[in-house]
């Protein structure tokens, strides 16, 4: 009985659990259904973004002249935000070189949006006082910095 348990039943249970886990992860990250995987809950992400912007705005204690620059900066950010991920079916029938061309095209579009955002950022940053610039610098996460914090 012990041999049966060790050779058949336990590996069977292990495989079943692995299958359930794999299935759950695949369902969670399924890009075609817009499920709750990373980046899918755009409403929640937008709320988090708005809360962060409000916290930074409050920390900066902007003057009336600076307020207009802030509104322009925030509006430009919303305008330049990508709307959605590419449809996986769009890439389905393409060859590897064609897929890479599409990815490069999207990367160039993203780079163009970043250039426009940089212009808006520089315009806003120029109206801030040095202490406000320091607050702003400290409030914006740096690349590679993954931190969950409450502002």
At 147 the pLDDT is 55
Q: Are residues 83 and 42 in contact, defined by beta-carbon separation less than 8 angstroms? A: no
What confidence tens digit (pLDDT) does each residue in 106-135 have? Answer: 889 889 988 999 999 999 999 999 999 999
Distance (Å) of CA 146 to CA 29, 51, 105, 141, 142: 20, 17, 28, 8, 8
How many domains is the chain built from? Answer: 2
- Mean pLDDT per block of 10 residues along the chain (151 residues) reads 64 63 48 49 81 92 92 88 76 90 90 90 95 92 64 44
DSSP states of the chain? -HHHIIIIIHHHHHHHHHHHHHHHHHHHT-TTTT-SSTT--HHHHHHHHHHHHHHHHHHHT--HHHHHHHHHHHHHHHHHS---PPPHHHHHT--HHHHHHHHHHHHHHHHHHHHHHHHHHHHHHHTS-HHHHHHHHHHSPPTT-------
Domain membership of residue 145 (yes or no) is: no
Domain membership of residue 83 (yes or no) is: yes
- Rounded to 10°, the helix 64-80/96-126 angle is 180
How much is the pTM?
Answer: 0.62
Same domain for 78 and 115, yes or no, is: yes
Same domain for 131 and 63, yes or no, is: yes
**CA 139 – CA 151 distance, rounded (Å):** 8
At 34 the pLDDT is 47
Domain membership of residue 35 (yes or no) is: no
Same domain for 76 and 115, yes or no, is: yes
**CA 136 – CA 61 distance, rounded (Å):** 11
At 98 the pLDDT is 93
Range of the domain at 10: 1-30
Contacts of 132 (CB under 8 A, 6+ apart): 60, 61, 62, 66
Q: Which residue has the tokens 């930074």?
A: 56
């Amino acid at each position: 009985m012990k041999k049966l348990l060790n050779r058949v039943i336990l590996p069977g249970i292990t495989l079943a659990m692995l299958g359930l886990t794999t299935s759950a992860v695949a369902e969670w990250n399924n890009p075609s259904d817009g499920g709750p995987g990373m980046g899918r809950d755009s409403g929640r992400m937008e709320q988090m973004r708005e809360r962060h912007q409000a916290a930074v705005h409050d920390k900066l204690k902007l003057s009336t002249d600076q307020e207009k620059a802030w509104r322009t900066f925030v509006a430009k950010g919303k305008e330049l935000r990508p709307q959605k991920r590419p449809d996986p079916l769009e890439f389905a029938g393409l060859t590897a070189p064609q897929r890479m061309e599409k990815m490069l095209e999207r990367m160039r579009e993203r780079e163009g949006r970043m250039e426009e955002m940089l212009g808006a950022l520089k315009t806003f940053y120029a109206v801030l006082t040095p202490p406000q610039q320091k607050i702003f610098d400290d409030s914006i996460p740096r690349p590679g910095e993954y931190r969950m914090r409450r502002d």
